[in-house]
Structure 1
Amino acid sequence: MKKILDNINKHVILTADEEDIFISKVTIENFKAKSMVLKPGDICTKSYFINSGIIRSFTVNDNSVEHVLNFSCEGWWISDMYSYLTQKPGNLFIEVLEDAEVVVLSKENQELLYYEISKLERFFRILIENSLIANQERLMDNLSLSAEERFEKFCSKYPTLIQKVPQKQIASFIGVTPEFFSKMKARLLKK
């Protein structure tokens, strides 16, 4: 539980008693690669903190084309935020790419923690604000940067994923076809 407590303590400092209360409200789960944690139509009732492994969220359009929204690796959180916050059926797949150990926090326990440890409400507000900023930045990047520039940003944000994630998923994340990505990557390697 050290990793998640360190993650929390970056933003709010918990006492030893508060840490014990928090730990009593979470569980640890292990998922094998290629496991689906969530599917469209499911109501997301949990958020996940990644202790180890890689998890992605994505959607599939009417033409069966995948659109990767996020990759989450060690020290990051992942959930279908729309479904989690509204408790309505979601539209995302959440898939484990590399065997993962995660800390699981249910929506119900998160709400209880808000009452028991008010600092955690601040912590989760900060997480949501940071997520909103990252999503807005990504949207702006998709509108204003070239594919090469988006790939360079991906490489700096996710340096460990470049060798671990299939190229077609990286292409999807930066908003290009796998064919274009392959040609672009070959051009960049020649430079």
Structure 2
Amino acid sequence: MEPYKSILQNIERYVTLSDDEKKKLIAIIRTTKIKKRQFIDQPGYVCQYRNYVVQGTFRSYFIDSEGKEHTVQIAIEDWFVSDFYSYITRTPATLFVEAIEDSTIFQMTYDDIEGLCKEIHGLSEYFRISTERAFAFSRKRALSNLSMTAEERYKEVLDRYPTIVRRVPQKVIASYLGMTPEFMSKIRKNLSSKS
């Protein structure tokens, strides 16, 4: 079970699984190596996997009618990343999910997870909790975008996710925060002159 230690620890933050239940979960996991700039989801195709990041970094984004990219999620180790709307509704994806670094992910199909969740209450509970937490975070982010200044949003990401700020290109962070890289650069200069 050692290769699956990270995902099992993630699950055990919320629920307890028996050794037999852990073995059943491990049996449905596919370990996949992803190269930098490779896509794991693309618009037009139904998202087949719930992807857990073992090692590496990803971003989810869409391209608007003017060709501008809008990053909606950045994911690092111990986070899930997919076009979750496509995954849950079984409809074509609207997001690109791209590796920012060479990465390793655990992939689990929708049907495999649904089957196991019917059999293992703890696993069903875990995915319910993780989905609720993702929804709550998404709601908080939407409110932050409406109520906080650009500088406050940048400081929040800087304080909460210093690892992301160090590993992810500035243009991706700017896109995530809804600003241009040039504007974010001005914010960074302002903050460094204050300290």
TM-score by length of 1: 0.97
In the other structure, the counterpart of 1:151 is 154
Give, in whole Å, the separation in 2 of the partners of 1:77 and 1:157: 18
> 2, 6, 9: which one pairs with 1:3?
6
CA shift, 1:118, in A, is 1.7
CA shift, 1:155, in A, is 1.1
Give, in whole Å, the separation in 1 of the partners of 2:118 and 2:182: 51
> 132, 140, 144: which one pairs with 1:141?
144
Give, in whole Å, the separation in 2 of the partners of 1:156 and 1:100: 25
CA shift, 1:156, in A, is 2.1
In the other structure, the counterpart of 2:109 is 106
**Aligned 1:20-169 pairs, distance under 5 A:** 20-169=23-172
- Secondary structure (helix, strand or coil) at the match of 1:162 reads helix
Q: CA offsets, 1:107-136, max 9 Å, x none?
A: 010011112212111100101100111000
Compare the two structures and name the one with the higher helix fraction.
Answer: 2
Can you give the 5+ residue segments of structure 1 that lack an aligned partner in the other structure? none
Letter in 2 for 1:189: S
Letter in 1 for 2:68: V
CA shift, 1:99, in A, is 1.0
Letter in 2 for 1:93: F
In the other structure, the counterpart of 2:193 is 190
Can you give the 5+ residue segments of structure 2 that lack an aligned partner in the other structure? none
Give, in whole Å, the separation in 2 of the partners of 1:13 and 1:46: 23
CA shift, 1:38, in A, is 1.0
CA shift, 1:163, in A, is 2.0
Letter in 2 for 1:28: T
CA shift, 1:27, in A, is 1.0
Give, in whole Å, the separation in 2 of the partners of 1:158 and 1:165: 11
TM-score by length of 2: 0.96
CA shift, 1:152, in A, is 0.9
Instruction: Report the number of matched residues.
Output: 191
Give, in whole Å, the separation in 2 of the partners of 1:57 and 1:138: 15
Give RMSD over aligned pairs: 0.8
In the other structure, the counterpart of 1:180 is 183
Give, in whole Å, the separation in 2 of the partners of 1:27 and 1:2: 14
Give, in whole Å, the separation in 1 of the partners of 2:158 and 2:116: 36
CA shift, 1:39, in A, is 0.8
